[in-house]
Amino acid sequence: MVKLFSSILIFLFLLPLAFSDLRVGFYSKSCPSAETIVRRIVQNRFNRDRSITAGLLRMHFHDCFVRGCDASILIDPKGGKASEKQAGPNASVRGYELIDEIKKALEKACPLTVSCADIITLATRDSVALAGGPKYTVPTGRRDGLVSNPNDVNVPGPTFSVSQALQSFSAKGLTLNEMVTLLGAHTVGFTHCSFVQGRLSSFGSRDASMDSALDSSLGRTCGSSSRPARNDPRVFLDQNTSFVFDNEFYNQILKKRGVLKIDQNLADDALSRGIVSGFAANDGSFMQSFANAIIKMGRIGVLVDNAGEIRKNCRAFNQ
């Protein structure tokens, strides 16, 4: 009896492992051109708009941190029913129309075969390589989720301490090292002034952990409490090599030139400072570490096998 019971327990324990079969080249038989199609469309977009790398990286992160990497972030609200996109932190996630363009081409080549969750993953991978980041193979076979709820959105905030942020990453099975690595994605892209003004002297709240030249320069773009710039302008997260996927982000935060508080915290907190210095000194180790960490992020809560569905339109559930 005890033996039967423990066999059942072992079986139940192994079940999710046996079925979580993402693998490199998942579409090599069912849609051999899938990865080439994704790469071509991402390349076209990148040629016109280098900022797409940042858009996709953030989309991938927000997708994976809410219900797992299941493309729940892509669902449009419909008939009064809200979706993830509408949650506060969502705002400004961008690149949705690129995903639509890729999906359209894939539906033409191989209908109902390639998931929207894999499209986000592959497009992110390709855009990172184009911006100068690591080139890596990434496992596929994700399926698209059937739920998208704004109340599920609970991504870390820009003023989090390192240990607060770590709580959120640990809950997803990611380590401190992986978190510091993944935040290196802030080597590309923008933030809106509204996430930074709480640190600026022009808004009456000088943050001593910010370099004073950066404080003045951000003040010129973002305005002041008496005259805030209109339409919430954007500023680069990496103020030096803003479009290049490199380790310069870590050098910038060591120079007190982190734009978001969470970014500066990484350099100033004893928990993470050593990891930051290591990456600042060695671009190769950051590249390697980033490839490993983003592949791991891409496995969070994935749906495989018969779970979920392959959406026809990334913005809507099939039914």
Residue ranges of the binding site for substrate: 156
Q: Closest CB to ligand NAG among 89 and 139?
A: 89
Phi and psi, residue 103, nearest 5°: -60, -40
- Three-state SS for 166? helix
Residue 251 CA to residue 121 CA, distance in Å, equals 28
CB 262 within 8 A of CB 160: yes
Name which of 156, 119, 127, 138 is nearest 294 in CA terms. Answer: 138
**54 interacts with ligand HEM by CB under 6 A:** yes
* Cβ-based burial of 110 (10 A; exposed 0-12, middle 13-18, buried ≥19): middle
Count of chain residues binding ligand NAG (CB under 6 A): 9
Single out the segment in contact with ligand NAG by CB under 6 A; choices: 32-40, 43-51, 79-87, 307-315.
79-87
Which of 26, 46, 190, 203: binder of ligand HEM (CB under 6 A)?
Answer: 190
Residue 93 CB, shortest distance to ligand NAG, in Å, is 7
Question: Assign residue 198 a region: left if phi > 0, alpha if psi is -120 to 50, beta otherwise?
Answer: alpha
Which of 170, 217, 224, 240: binder of ligand NAG (CB under 6 A)?
Answer: 240
Binding mask 88-117 toward ligand NAG (x if CB under 6 A, else -) reads x-xx--------------------------
**86 interacts with ligand NAG by CB under 6 A:** yes
Q: Distances in Å between the alpha carbon of 33 and those of 27, 29, 100, 106, 309?
A: 8, 9, 17, 9, 21
**262 interacts with ligand HEM by CB under 6 A:** yes
Q: What does 191 bind: ligand HEM, ligand NAG, none (CB cut-off 5 to 8 Å by kind)? A: ligand HEM
Measured from each CB, the residue nearest to ligand HEM is 189
Q: What does 153 bind: ligand NAG, ligand HEM, none (CB cut-off 5 to 8 Å by kind)? A: none
Residue 60 CA to residue 7 CA, distance in Å, equals 38
Catalytic residues: 62
Binding site for ligand NAG (CB under 6 A): 85-88, 90-91, 240-241, 248
